[in-house]
Amino acid sequence: MQGKHPYDYKFSGGVQCDAPLSALTTLKVGGAAKVLWSPSSVEELCTFKKEAGKCIAHALLGDGSNTLVADNGFDGVVIRLKDLPQDIYMSGKEVTMGAGVSCGTVARFAREAELDGLAFWCGIPGSVGGALYMNAGAYGRETVDPLVSVNLISPEGERVQFKPQELDFSYRQSGVKDGWIIESATFKLAEGRKDKIKQDMRDINRDRSKSQPLNMPSSGSWFTNPKGQKSWQLVDSVGGRGQRLGDAAVSEKHSNFFVNHGAATAGDMLALSDEMIDKIYKEHGILMTTEVQKLGSFERV
């Protein structure tokens, strides 16, 4: 049951009305949220879920590195977890942190603690919640690999702990259902050597800056890889590399990165994406799926 106006709820923590979302995403497109809310405690989140979760439209935004915001924004509450405590706890080889902590911060923390297993997070510009939701992966590793447990907030506002095998993790999917919020997680890492982890992270960052357009707004890989295929090769095969529609473009440097040359709209990004999907389907009979997550309404009129 949705339908109550976000202004009807008395939020605690940081609240901004008609908040532009483009600056909060790495793609830098899209409109405003009716309300942008940054709760300062998990309890506030649970209370919101209990009291208003069923009647006020709301959505989660992590670090916005895999999110395409609709041009007319989001007519509800966008919840960011950046004002929640950012601590990382260590117990033996286990590290626990809140969903709002950035992956890069955790990767560096683990490196300093000589713990290996999350070095691949150093180049992922997202939050722990986003990485878990997307089961983010790179260089042969996925977020679920070292995961011990994840704490979620249910649509009814209850805190529930899950083991990874109780969720449905797969390639770029976590099985976290609509309405659930990832609150925190614990990972078990392996003993490692700081200098070796540092070198691994340097190699990853060097490799990324060689092959990816890191100086342009993007959301990383635009399409997921179909089984046994590489999306960049499929986009190349239909002449997609460098194609442009308004300020939306397929990167010259990496043809599975869709970039914003400055003033792209979400409509431009999707029209270009649809063009690639059509061409690839016609040429190869493969239906591409976008990895980027949509926030807001994309219905065409």
Ligand X SMILES: Cc1cc2nc3c(=O)[nH]c(=O)nc-3n(C[C@H](O)[C@H](O)[C@H](O)COP(=O)(O)OP(=O)(O)OC[C@H]3O[C@@H](n4cnc5c(N)ncnc54)[C@H](O)[C@@H]3O)c2cc1C
Q: Is 15 one of the binding residues for ligand X (CB under 6 A)? A: no
Task: For the CB of residue 285, give the shortest distance to ligand X in the complex, in Å.
Answer: 26
Q: Is 36 one of the binding residues for ligand X (CB under 6 A)? A: no
What is the rounded CA–CA span in Å between residue 41 and residue 63?
18
Among 218, 255, 260, 290, binds ligand X (CB under 6 A): 218
166 annotated active-site: no
Task: For the CB of residue 114, give the shortest distance to ligand X in the complex, in Å.
Answer: 24
Q: Report how far Cα 237 is from the mean position of its chain's Cα atoms.
A: 28
What is the rounded CA–CA span in Å between residue 2 and residue 66?
25
221 annotated active-site: yes
**Alpha carbons within 13 A on the beta-carbon side of 92:** 5
Amino acid occupying residue 184: S
Task: For the CB of residue 50, give the shortest distance to ligand X in the complex, in Å.
Answer: 17
Question: By CB under 6 A, what part of segment 188-217 binds ligand X?
Answer: 212, 214
Q: Is 131 one of the binding residues for ligand X (CB under 6 A)? A: yes
Strands 94-98 and 181-188: antiparallel
Residues 147 and 185: beta-carbon distance below 8 Å = yes
- Within the chain, what is the greatest distance between any pair of CA atoms? 56
Q: Which of 221, 251, 255, 273 does the annotation list as catalytic?
A: 221
Strands 58-61 and 67-69: unpaired
- Token code pair at residue 23: 């600056």
Q: Which residues contact 224 (CB under 8 A, 6 or more apart)?
A: 171, 172, 231, 288, 289, 290, 291
Q: Is 296 one of the binding residues for ligand X (CB under 6 A)? A: no
Among 66, 255, 260, 273, binds ligand X (CB under 6 A): 66
Binding mask 138-177 for ligand X (x = CB under 6 A): x-------------------------------------x-
- Catalytic site residues? 172, 221, 291
Q: Which residues lie near ligand X (CB under 6 A)?
A: 26, 59-67, 81, 99, 124-127, 129-131, 133-134, 136-138, 176, 181-182, 212, 214, 218-220, 293
